[in-house]
Structure 1
């Protein structure tokens, strides 16, 4: 078999391009990934493209958070009503919440460290990667896009930045959950009332417990879209550089101390 076939049959390779998105290894800061898991369990794993684990932890966070009244307690704490915050917590659910919350932080940190090691090995192996994927439903290919566009679309609606860079799985998950948060928080209803000048009604209609999910999901969507746009651009350059070397550069060409030697 040709050594340069983009079949992704090597022991380790840097990326895989499929109709559902581009999955790749790149160096990440374990503390940043752990911080995102601390902000919202599941986000750290989604940043690592560990989708199944990320989905489970995300859904767990939403369900147990609502049942334990964690967001409500946080709102009371922000207002200095510490006794009310303590009273509103449901310890039957809270004691389940804490171990999984800590696991999400620890596991995302551990996984990041491991994946960084795999990245260094894959980079050394330098196996060709597939750069184009076509199926009955979608087409995906490596190209360069603007990171700022990813952020701007994520600010309009979380998930659109991921669609822009063809992270289909993350995009659908984020968009669906944003719709859920919009519906139960009554945020869009409040915005409509605000435009009509009904400020008190707009404030009264909001459900703060669900509203508190928005800072995390907006921040994650923008960060994930930006980082993956930058890394996809790097991957495009890496694949193009290797292709040109294999097909157009003379085997005898070397660079020694800043001088070309043939």
Structure 2
């Protein structure tokens, strides 16, 4: 089922690819995910941000690595969702995920300017992804 593959990739990029039995691609995505999280300190920054320590989160994260992450994350989810069913229209189904990636990138770029929890604003990118999965469910 497509949504299960996508939700596995939302939990950890690469898990959806394993669900789709694309083991080499899944392993590659997991390596990239770990590389991004370790060197970008993204998980630590998100944990600090969720606990109200917004400025400390901004000082913890390595922006050189974090700016790559939203696009990669959205691509991993779309890839798992798209390849779970053959015959879908690649151009149409990618549009909501592209919008989600743009939202994630802008939230990462401007995270220091937000008055609300900064890095967690990037989680808004999940909304267009889920909307796209619902809207294009029969594709």
**TM-score bracket, shorter-length normalisation:** 0.5 to 0.7
Task: Determine the C-alpha separation between the residues in 2 that align with 1:62 and 1:94.
Answer: 12
User: In structure 2, do the counterparts of structure 1 residues 63 and 97 end up closer, same or farther at CA, with 3 Å as the change threshold?
Assistant: same
Q: CA 1:115–1:36 in 2, change beyond 3 Å: closer, same or farther?
A: farther
2:63 paired residue number: 91
Runs of 4+ in 1 over 3 A off after TM superposition: none
> TM (normalized to structure 1)?
0.32
1:111 pairs with one of 80, 83, 86: 83
**Out of 32, 39, 42, which is 1:60 matched to?**
32
Tell me, which stretches of 5 or more residues in structure 1 are unaligned?
1-27, 117-262
Residues 166-205 of structure 1: pairs in structure 2 closer than 5 A: none
Tell me, in whole angstroms, the C-alpha distance in 1 between the residues paired with 2:3 and 2:54: 30
- Structure (1/2) with the larger strand percentage: 1
Count of residues in correspondence between the two structures? 88
SS at match of 1:49: coil
Query: Match for residue 44 of structure 2?
Result: 72
Q: What displacement does 1:75 show?
A: 1.6
Could you state the TM-score of these two structures normalised by the residue count of structure 2? Answer: 0.59
Q: Give the drift of 1:80.
A: 1.2
Following superposition, the deviation at residue 114 of structure 1 comes to 1.6
Instruction: Give the superposed CA RMSD.
Output: 1.7
Give, in whole Å, the separation in 1 of the partners of 2:86 and 2:29. 20
Q: Which is helix-richer, 1 or 2?
A: 2
Instruction: Give the C-alpha shift of residue 78 in structure 1.
Output: 2.8
Separation of aligned partners in 2, 1:102 and 1:70: 15
**In structure 1, C-alpha distance between the alignment counterparts of 2:78 and 2:10, rounded to whole Å:** 10
SS of residue matched to 2:52: coil
Give ranges in structure 2 of 5+ residues lacking alignment: 89-139
Per the alignment, in what secondary structure is the counterpart of residue 80 of structure 1?
Answer: coil
- Shift in Å at residue 115 of structure 1? 8.2
- Offset at residue 83 of structure 1 (A): 1.6
